[in-house]
Structure 1
Amino acid sequence: MNLNEIIAVNLKRLRAERGFSLGKLSELSGVSKVMLSQIEKGESNPTINTLWKIAGGLQVSYTKLIDEQIDAPLLIRKEESVIAEYDGYRAYHYNTANPARDFEFFNGELDAHKEYTSEGHGMNTHEYLLVTRGEMVLRYGGEEYLLREGDFIHFDCTQPHTYCNRGESMTEFTNIVYYIG
């Protein structure tokens, strides 16, 4: 679904939830009934200012108009996830494409006596990592952090960092890479 279609669906739903007619929303937002109707039909490419006015009239955040709504649970099986594999390190990616998403969700596996170095992610990114099986050492900023099963760490992942498994069995961990707006 393209952005205009998403906005159209969200506007119709939000207006109906509040019991607003086009006229009432026009009064509250300062956007004409004709423009509101065109937006609801997906026939208009509204400006950001127009969307802000509509959001104000509906008393919702701007993102409520542009975020695609999830109507049903999204199930992704491990074998269907996108995988990145590098010499004993596997990363399973569990997100679908969504322009409104500001994070990525991964499950990682690191074989015994292996390590993986990330050169760092884009600007304004943070990583939230939870070890779910085994243990690992995170090398970051000249320091080493020993993480055992159940341990959690949060760090600025714009910097290079290395996951190290010095143990005899595979380490598993979950991480979220968050893109700060």
Structure 2
Amino acid sequence: MVHSATGLLSANIRLLRSRSGLSLSALARKAGVSKATLSDLESGSGNPTIETVFSLARALDAPVSSLLREGHQEQVTVVRAYRSEVLSGKGVELRPLRREDTGISVLEVYDQLFRAGRQQDSAGHPGTEHTIVTSGRLTAVIDGREHDLGPGDSVRFPASLPHTYIPRGGDVDSVLILTHTEPHHHATGDQAPADH
């Protein structure tokens, strides 16, 4: 069984790329990453960043957790902070906590730390994004509009919109929840349950 984030990413990229019928070159172009970077990730020798993982998820039209998860889940799952691998980006550290797949929709939960003095940009990715600030102050710029958030505040939006997070005055702890409708339900017209 593969346990490291790099090993899981490697196996899952190969599987999802194969299922989508994309060549290595085609996926690299679609994701906006170099073929060499993608080849390294697929071989398990690359060092994935959040930006690369989210770009691949967008290109594969798949939840981010589909790239990072193991197939089998126990009924009771305890996630130990010291054993979780953290994905780092330019301004954020992201730690996967949970994935729920109902067959119609997917729910992903992440612990997220925005580092002081840095901003985290995203061109967009699949799903609906819901960020809940637990400590600190955060500005979320979504599709060009600013939203200032403090502890207990949250923002929810289509994750396909370009968005930027800017911590104000120090590190910001938050929870990231991503929800997705499974792709085969888009094609048949089935809808995921509405978020409230």
With the length of structure 2 as denominator, give the TM-score of the two structures. 0.51
Supply the distance in 1 between the matched residues of 2:151 and 2:113 (Cα, whole angstroms): 13
Q: Which residue of 1 aligns with 2:176?
A: 175
Q: Which residue of 2 aligns with 1:134?
A: 136
Instruction: Note if contact 1:137-1:164 (Cα within 8 Å) is conserved in structure 2.
Output: yes
Residues 66-77 of structure 1: pairs in structure 2 closer than 5 A: 72-77=75-80
| Range 95-104 or range 139-148, more displaced | 95-104
Q: Which residue of 1 aligns with 2:120?
A: 116
Structure 1 spans left out of the alignment, 5+ residues? 1-67
Supply the distance in 2 between the matched residues of 1:70 and 1:177 (Cα, whole angstroms): 19
Q: Which residue of 1 aligns with 2:98?
A: 95
What is the letter of the counterpart of residue 79 of structure 1?
Y
What is the letter of the counterpart of residue 180 of structure 1?
T
Instruction: Note if contact 1:126-1:178 (Cα within 8 Å) is conserved in structure 2.
Output: yes
The offset of 1:88, in angstroms, is: 3.8
Question: Looking at CA atoms only, which structure, 1 or 2, has the larger radius of gyration?
Answer: 1
- How many pairs align? 111
The offset of 1:83, in angstroms, is: 1.6
Structure 2 spans left out of the alignment, 5+ residues? 1-70, 183-196
Q: Which residue of 2 aligns with 1:107?
A: 111
With the length of structure 1 as denominator, give the TM-score of the two structures. 0.54
How many percent of aligned residue pairs carry the same amino acid?
Answer: 23
Instruction: Note if contact 1:135-1:165 (Cα within 8 Å) is conserved in structure 2.
Output: yes
The offset of 1:97, in angstroms, is: 8.7
Supply the distance in 1 between the matched residues of 2:154 and 2:130 (Cα, whole angstroms): 7
Q: Which residue of 1 aligns with 2:63?
A: none
Residues 1-181 of structure 1: pairs in structure 2 closer than 5 A: 72-95=75-98, 100=103, 102-122=106-126, 125-167=127-169, 169-181=170-182
The offset of 1:180, in angstroms, is: 2.4
Instruction: Note if contact 2:100-2:107 (Cα within 8 Å) is conserved in structure 1.
Output: no
The offset of 1:87, in angstroms, is: 3.3
